[in-house]
Amino acid sequence: MHLILIIVAVIAAYVIGSLSGSLLLGPLFDQADLRSSGSGNAGATNALRAGGRGYGLAVLAFDIVKGAVAARFVPILLHTLGPWPFVCGIMVILGHVYPVFYGFRGGKGAATCIGVLAVLLPGSLVLGAAVWVAVLVASGFVGLATILGMLGVALASFFVPGVPPAGHVFVIAASLIILYTHRSNIERMRAGNENRFERARIWRRR
């Protein structure tokens, strides 16, 4: 029975991740399939660029909440936590990146990862968020800020007290997923044609 519950919990986390905020909320903001515009990504950054602030923030909130829900509530099915919140955390991120309902073409997983971290590793998330903001205001590259911010989370997890071994495994796995999903951003930065979020470049304006 316990094995069945584990399978149910893992699948439930993946299914929750497969609920794409940009595609479900798109009709409310007069937006078609976000994957056919902008960067072709179904995440909050592309939603912001394609549909404006309201759409972008709604998608961001949706994707963060689903990550938090999967990490906090799905493991309750097992009646014992252990490493399973972190396993569900990885599965909800994978569901976002490879959604079963949308031809396995989703977002890059960053917002959903934030939701998981907010529930499971909030202390590490604080440092990651600080790194993200610093890189964004200095460079304007959202993708670079996300990659380095996640690496900041991974580094912080080894210094924040009380992080279990499963937490270390989670941040390493999540960092690799984020790095992989942002490979096109890395390629564009190397080629010199990556889009910048100019309004965020406060450092340069000063």
Location of structure tokens 């979020």: 197
pTM score, whole prediction: 0.91
Rounded to an integer, what distance in angstroms lies between the CA atom of residue 99 and that of residue 181?
14
Which pLDDT band holds residue 68 (cuts at 50, 70, 90)?
very high
Q: Decide if pLDDT at 200 tops 70.
A: no
Quickly count: other Cβ atoms within 10 Å of residue 77's Cβ: 14
Q: Decide if pLDDT at 79 tops 90.
A: no
User: Using CA of residue 167, residue 83, residue 22, residue 53, what is the dihedral sign?
Assistant: negative
Rounded to an integer, what distance in angstroms lies between the CA atom of residue 180 and that of residue 115?
19
**pLDDT tens digits for 111-131?**
999 999 999 999 999 999 999
Given a contact cutoff of 8 angstroms between Cβ atoms, the answer to whether 111 and 43 are in contact is yes
Which pLDDT band holds residue 203 (cuts at 50, 70, 90)?
low
Rounded to an integer, what distance in angstroms lies between the CA atom of residue 8 and that of residue 3?
9
